[in-house]
Amino acid sequence: MASGSPVQRAYSRIAGGYGRSRNKQIIQFLLDNGLFIAFVLELILFAVAAPDLFIRSRTLEAILRLSGPAGIVLASYTITLISGQIDLSTAQVGGMASLMFAAVFQLLEWPLGVALALTVVLTIAVGLLSSYLIKQGIPSFVSTLAVGVVCGGIGFLIINLTKQPGMIRLVRPPLRDIANFEVLGVPFVIPLMFVAYAIGWVVLNQTRFGAHIYAMGGNPAAAALNGINAIRIARIVLVTNAVITGMAGILIAGRQLAAQPGVEGLGQSLTAALFAGVALSGGSGKIERTLIGLLFLSTLTIGLGILNVAAPVRQLIFGSAFVFAILLDSIRQQLASR
C-alpha cells in the first residue's frame, strides 16, 4: 500500500531536503564563526572566574606578549599550510636557530649582525632541505618531521660542544635591548605581529602568488596543468617559514635571556591553524582567523595560569584542544565533499 499520494511524497522529499540543507547551513555557520564565539565565551568565563586578576591591562599585555613571536610564526605557518605543506619542524628549528645565534653572539662574542646573518643562512638551508625531500616525493609532514629531528640533534650538539648546562644564557646588552624594545610603551613584537598578518593577508588575497598558493593546496594536479610550479612554491613557503621561525626563536630567547633546544610556544602553530579553519590538506583558510585562534590559545594559557591549574591538567586541556581541532578539520572536509 502506498504511504501517501504522490504530492505528499514529493512534499516529504522537499521538506527532508530542506531540513538537511538547513542543518548543513547551521553547522557551516558554527564552523565559520564558532572560534570567535568560543573566544568571547572564554573571555567571559575567565572574567567571571577571576575578575580581580583577569580584567586588568597587565593581563591583556601578557596575552599579547605571549602571542607575539609565536603569532609571527603562525602567520607564515598559515600560508605554508594553505599551500598544502605541513611543517612539523617549527619548535626544533626555532630552538636550533636560537642556540646557533647564542653560541656565535654570546660565547664567541661576534657582532650581532654577523650572528643574525649566519642564523639566517642556517635556516635557509633547513627550508631548502625540507623542499628537496618533498621534491623527491616524500610527503611534507614526513620530510619536515625528519628535518625537525635533525635540527633538534644539532641543537643538542651545540649544547654539548659549548659545554653549557642545557642552555646558553644571553646577557649581552644589544639583544636584550632589542627584545625588550617598546614603541609608545608597547613591546615592539606586538605591532610587528599585526604587521606580519597584514602582509600575509595582502600576499594571500591581493597577489598572483597568493592565488597560486591556494590553487596548489586545493588541487596540485590541476595547478600543475595550469603551469603552476608546485616545487617552487613549496620551496619559497618552507624557506620563508624556516627563516621566520628562526628569527622568532631568537626573539623568544632574547626575552627569556636564554637559548635552549625546542622553543616553547612555536609547536602550537598547527593547533591554532586548524582551530582557525585552515584545512590540513591545504587549499582553504583565512589568515585573519588564525590570529583569533592564536589569541584563543594564548588567553587559555594565561587564564589557566591565573587560576593556578596544575601543569598536567593544562597539558590535558591543550592535548584535547588539538584533538578537537583535528575533528573540526575532518568535519569541514566532509561538508566540503558533499
Domains in the chain: boundaries: 35-337
Task: Look at residue 196 in the predicted model and tell me its pLDDT.
Answer: 94
Q: What are the 10-residue block averages of pLDDT along the chain, 338 residues in total?
A: 55 56 71 78 91 88 88 93 92 94 92 94 97 94 95 93 85 78 82 94 95 91 87 94 94 87 71 76 85 89 91 86 74 67
- Which pLDDT score is estimated for 97? 96
Give tens-digit pLDDT for 249-294. Answer: 998 888 888 888 877 666 677 777 877 778 777 888 889 888 888 8
Residue 317 in contact with residue 268, Cβ under 8 Å?
no
β-strand pairing of 186-187 with 182-183: antiparallel
Query: If DSSP states are collapsed to H, E and C, what string results for the chain?
Result: CCCCCHHHHHHHHHHHHHHHHHHHHHHHHHHHHHHHHHHHHHHHHHHHHCHHHHCCHHHHHHHHHHHHHHHHHHHHHHHHHHCCCCCCCHHHHHHHHHHHHHHHHHHCCCCHHHHHHHHHHHHHHHHHHHHHHHHCCCCHHHHHHHHHHHHHHHHHHHHHHHCCCCCEECCCHHHHHHHCCEECCEECHHHHHHHHHHHHHHHHHHCHHHHHHHHHHHCHHHHHHCCCCHHHHHHHHHHHHHHHHHHHHHHHHHHHCEECCCCCCHHHHHHHHHHCCCCCCCCCCCHHHHHHHHHHHHHHHHHHHHCCCCHHHHHHHHHHHHHHHHHHHHHHHHHHHC
Evaluate if pTM is beyond 0.85: no
* pLDDT the model gives residue 18: 53
**CB-CB neighbours of 120 under 10 Å:** 16
**Per-residue confidence (pLDDT) for residue 1, from 0 to 100:** 45
Indicate the length of the chain as a whole number: 338
Say which residue the cell 653549557 belongs to.
Answer: 164
Q: Cell digits for 39?
A: 573566544
As assigned by CATH, the class of the 35-337 domain is: mainly alpha
Could you read off the pLDDT of 23-76 as tens digits, one per residue?
767 776 766 677 788 888 889 999 999 998 888 888 988 998 888 888 999 999
Q: What is the pLDDT of residue 306?
A: 92
The confidence score (pLDDT) of residue 136 equals 94
Q: Please give the grid coordinates belonging to residue 295.
A: 589569541
Q: Which residues in 46-67 are b (16+ Cβ under 10 Å) and which e?
A: beeebeebbeeeebeebbbbbb
